[in-house]
């Protein structure tokens, strides 16, 4: 097997069009759809324990090296992650959630309602509550299996309580 060292692919490139599939707990795609992050045979995302994922983000923000990531070139414009899917899923989730959070919170503040859409339509004290990013989790509006769109518009953040309640349905 021929191995080529690529230093031109950035974290930003990989996060472009990043898709996380919540039901199966997998990062699915990145690199504007050219990269399959966790193919069928890969284990699910196991870094979401609030420790390993945080460690990845912290070292990234400090400018520490991520370590080598291996892609298997499937065809001209298609790659699969051979090694590094946990790291990629960690920063992909972070970047996606952060941008969704910014938009959703600005919108809620303008309307004077909670930034959790389900709290906002509720009848208790949380109706007006602005949650922090760390108090929320991503929810995919349309499940992937139902043909949900593959971009950020298909993702919203809910407070952890509502996210958990929805996940159990
Ligand atoms: Zn809520």
If pLDDT is split at 50, 70 and 90, which confidence band does 159 have? very high
* CA 71 to ligand 1 center in whole angstroms: 38
Task: Give residue 97 CA to ligand 1 midpoint distance, Å.
Answer: 16
User: What tens digit of pLDDT does each residue of 93-151 get?
Assistant: 888 888 889 999 999 999 999 999 999 999 999 999 999 998 998 876 555 445 544 44
pTM tops 0.85, yes or no:
no
Closest CA to 61 of 98, 36, 9: 98
Query: 117: CA distance to ligand 1 center in Å?
Result: 7
Other residues' Cβ atoms within 10 Å of the Cβ of residue 149? 13
Cα 62-86-34 angle, rounded to 5 deg: 100
- Calculate how far, in angstroms, residue 62's C-alpha sits from the geometric centre of ligand 1: 32
CA of 133 to the centre of ligand 1 (A): 12
CB 29 within 8 A of CB 150: yes
- Strand-pairing partners, residue 35, are 30, 79
Say what the pLDDT of residue 116 is.
96
Q: Closest by alpha carbon to 80, among 69, 72, 88?
A: 72
Residue 18, pLDDT score:
84
In angstroms, rounded to a whole number, what is the distance separating the alpha carbons of residues 54 and 94? Answer: 9
Q: How far is the CA of 111 from the centre of ligand 1 (A)?
A: 16
What is the whole-number distance in angstroms between the Cα of residue 145 and the centre of ligand 1? 25
């Amino acid at each position: 097997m021929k191995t080529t060292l690529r230093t031109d692919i950035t974290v930003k490139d990989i996060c472009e069009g990043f898709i996380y599939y919540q039901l199966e707990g997998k990062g699915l795609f990145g690199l504007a759809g050219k990269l399959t992050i966790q193919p069928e045979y890969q284990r699910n995302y196991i870094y979401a324990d609030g420790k390993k994922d945080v460690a990845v983000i912290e070292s990234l923000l400090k400018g520490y090296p991520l370590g080598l990531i291996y892609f298997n070139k499937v065809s001209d414009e298609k790659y699969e992650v051979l090694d590094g899917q946990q790291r990629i899923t960690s920063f992909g989730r972070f970047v996606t959630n952060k941008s969704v959070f910014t938009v959703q919170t600005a919108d809620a503040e303008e309307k004077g309602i909670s930034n959790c859409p389900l709290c906002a339509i509720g009848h208790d004290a949380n109706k007006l509550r602005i949650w922090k990013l760390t108090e929320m989790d991503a929810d995919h509006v349309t499940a992937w299996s139902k043909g949900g769109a593959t971009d950020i518009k298909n993702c919203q953040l809910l407070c952890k309580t509502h996210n958990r309640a929805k996940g159990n349905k």
